Chain A
Amino acid sequence: MTLAVRRLAALLLLLAGLWSGPGVAHESQPGLLEVRQLTTERWEIAWRAPIYYGQPHPARLALPPDWQPLGEPRVRRLASAELYRQILRVPPGSVDGSVIGFPGLEQTITDVFVRLHRLDGSEMSQVVRPTEPQVVLRGERPWTVSAREYLALGFHHILLGIDHLLFVLGLLVIVRGPRMLIETITAFTLAHSLTLGLATLGHASLPAPPLNAAIALSILFLGPEMVRVWRGETSFTIRHPWVVAFCFGLLHGFGFASGLSTVAMPRAEIPLALAMFNVGVELGQLAFVALILLAHRALRTLEFRWPRCAELGPAYAVGTLGAYWTLQRTAMLF
């Protein structure tokens, strides 16, 4: 059966284990910068810097030199972020084309959403990535630019979501035949798109800590099923993996929603952002599946042979990591 996939999975998991620091189990939260015009010359900035691996975020805010602070900034420390608020005097007409930098962001994996609101009701929304840690404030941008940004955001979000990828890997080991593969991946996609949409549009929400624990549990759940596949046994999951993929996919969708913050996003932009973010996630997931299938085929072509017991490795690895995360994230609930 899917021996090669399992062997490959073992290798990947080994690497994943090496690569994942303690922090990987957490979603990396995006940052948020709101720039709001209060009067002609007075602006307020609100900078939400997420806690980064237990530390204050290394990125700082570099405002244009001609923006004069009025009074002291207000700082509030929350469990997941630090909030800075500051009123500024900005020379009229100097906002357009101004550059706000985020020195320090380039060493992190944090994306920052930037939102600009003017008195005349016009709004701007942009995503800043660590690869280019600055934003140029402009009035209007073509929608294609925003679409590309949200697409990339979704793509990167899934690449960093090792727990989601691990779940998909577990499904790949369990499914047999292309038909079952397509059914299962489609079910997972539909389910997480559904809850991603509901959560983003504000119709449903789950608090992050129990959600993350539940996602970990879904990975733990696959471990024993993978062992059953190895033993040649069967179960409901092995016969109908799409059902499991759909049910747990609903959970994972809430997880994806944490990567797309719609706070203060212009209303008109939310559908576009949601759609493109979702497409990005699916592309990343498909790329991962394609890579695994290609590597699996390559291992067969090169006639790799392993001891039979080595094929159990991935099942134990998935189970162990799932269990570890479940315990860790459950402990964080209390």
Chain B
Amino acid sequence: MRRPGHWSWVAAGWLLPAGAAQAHLVSSGLGPFYDGALHLLLSPGALLGLLALALLAGLRGPRAGRLAVIALPTAWLLGGLVGLGLAPVPDLTWLGVAAFLVLGLLLAADAKLPPIAIAALACAYGGLHGLLDGMALTAIGAGTSPLLGIVLAVLVIALLGAAAVVPLRVLWARIAVRVAGSWVAAVGLLMLGWLARGTG
């Protein structure tokens, strides 16, 4: 990230631990709740893994989908509440990238994980991003309202994403979902490269 300014907050995606330059969330003009929801939508780093996880859960059927839809926002919220009370830690961007890289690979491979494993992944991913979000929100002096906006957006995306995949039976449609996973993994690989270069 080379350019300061309000977009830089978004630029690093949700992965960004609060640097000193980030003074506020991108304003939706609609108050902190919508600011939070908008923030998630503007954070490709968080969205890619979220989407990969939702689609992966959907491929594994309704039960896995249900568990993911429950676990993701819950873990995100709990992680966020914990994170709100913590001091920001140094750069964890690579951890977020590694997370969505792994999820993308699992989706591309159509990994036959049991629902409980999906739930565990959802808890880990949601908890990780919740923590990062909470710490970032504290660092910019925002309260819990944006966190609630984020969590509701996570819930909606996970719900719609998983439910869109569950009914897919046709081979090509399921393959399209796996291709999406390979795209996510590819972005993850490239991002690791950018991070190694110090550009991420």
Mark contacts of B136-166 with chain A using CB atoms, 8 A cut-off: 1 yes-contact digit, 0 otherwise. Answer: 0000000001001100100110011011101
* Complex Cα–Cα for A111 and B69 (A): 36
B174 interfacial contact with A, CB 8 Å: no
Please name the residue on chain A nearest to B31 by beta carbon.
Answer: A109
CB distance from A65 to the nearest CB of B (A): 24
| A109 lies within 8 A of B29 (CB) | yes
A19-B33, A156-B29 known; A301+B152 contact, CB < 8 A: no
Q: Are B152 and A15 in contact (CB under 8 A)?
A: yes
Of the candidate stretches A183-191, A270-278, A290-298, the one touching chain B is A290-298
How many chain B residues sit at the interface, stated as a range, is 20 to 34
Contact present for B148 and A109 (CB under 8 Å): no
Interface residues on A, range: 20 to 34
Interface readout for A257-300 with B: 1 if CB under 8 Å, 0 if not? 00000000000000000000000000000000001001101110
Q: Is A58 an interface residue (CB 8 A)?
A: no
Check B62 against A159 for contact (C-beta < 8 Å): no
> How far apart are the CA atoms of A216 and B175 in the complex, in Å?
50
Interface residues of B, dominant DSSP: helix
Asked if A302 and B69 make an inter-chain contact with CB atoms under 8 angstroms apart, the answer reads yes
Q: Among B30, B149, B167, which residue has its beta carbon within 8 angstroms of that of A160?
A: B30
A291 and B66: CB pair below 8 A? no
Is A298 in contact with B159, judged by CB distance below 8 angstroms?
yes
Report B-chain residues with C-beta under 8 Å of the C-beta of A106. 24, 27
In the assembled complex, which residues on chain B have CB atoms less than 8 Å from the CB atom of A94? none
Answer yes or no: A233 CB below 8 A from chain B CBs: no
Q: Are A301 and B163 in contact (CB under 8 A)?
A: yes
| Residue B76 interfacial (CB < 8 Å) | no
Residues on the B chain within 8 Å of A129, using CB: 29
* Cβ 8 A contact of A301, one of B24, B30, B62: B62
Residues of A near B162 (CB, < 8 A) are 298, 302
Establish whether residues A304 and B66, one from each chain, have CB atoms under 8 Å apart when the complex forms: yes
Q: Contact mask A99-124 → B, CB, 8 Å, 1/0?
A: 00000001101010000000000000
A131 and B28 contact, CB distance less than 8 A: yes
Q: Check if A294 sits within 8 Å of B62, measured CB to CB.
A: no
Interface residue A140 (Cβ < 8 Å from any Cβ of B): no
Q: Which residues of A contact B104 (CB under 8 A)?
A: none
Asked whether any CB of chain B lies closer than 8 Å to the CB of A96, the reply is no
Verify A301–B166 contact, CB threshold 8 A.
yes
Q: For the complex, is B125 an interface residue (Cβ under 8 Å from A)?
A: no
Taking a contact as CB atoms under 8 Å apart, the answer to whether A18 and B148 are in contact is yes
CB < 8 Å neighbour of B156 from A109, A130, A156, A291: A291
- The answer on a CB contact under 8 Å between A303 and B27 is no
- Chain B residue nearest to A15 (CB atoms) is B152
Cβ–Cβ < 8 Å partners of A19 in chain B: 33, 145, 148-149
- What CA separation (Å) do A294 and B155 show in the bound complex? 13
Q: Give the distance in Å from the alpha carbon of A172 to the alpha carbon of B59 in the complex.
A: 30
B34 contacts chain A at the CB level, 8 A cutoff = yes
Within 1-45 of A, Cβ neighbours of B (below 8 Å) are at 11, 15, 18-19
Q: How far is the CB of B160 from chain A (nearest CB, A)?
A: 5
Q: Find out whether the CB atom of A156 lies under 8 angstroms from the CB atom of B30.
A: yes
Chain B residues with CB under 8 A of A130: 27, 29
Contacts A291-B156, A294-B160, A301-B167 given; does A159 touch B65 at CB 8 Å = no
Shortest beta-carbon distance from A133 to chain B in Å: 9
Least CB distance, B13 to chain A, in whole angstroms: 20
**4 pairs of A and B residues whose beta carbons are closest in the complex:** A298-B163, A130-B29, A301-B163, A131-B29
Residue ranges of A at the interface with B (Cβ–Cβ < 8 Å):
11, 15, 18-19, 106-107, 109, 111, 129-131, 156, 159-160, 291, 294-295, 297-299, 301-304
Jot down 27 A-B pairs with beta carbons below 8 A, ordered by A.
Answer: A19-B148, A106-B24, A106-B27, A107-B27, A111-B29, A129-B29, A130-B29, A131-B29, A156-B30, A159-B30, A160-B30, A160-B31, A294-B160, A295-B159, A295-B160, A297-B163, A298-B159, A298-B162, A299-B163, A301-B163, A302-B66, A302-B159, A302-B162, A302-B163, A303-B62, A303-B66, A304-B66
Further contacts, 7 of them, CB under 8 A, given A109-B29, A298-B160: A11-B155, A106-B24, A107-B24, A295-B156, A299-B163, A301-B65, A303-B63
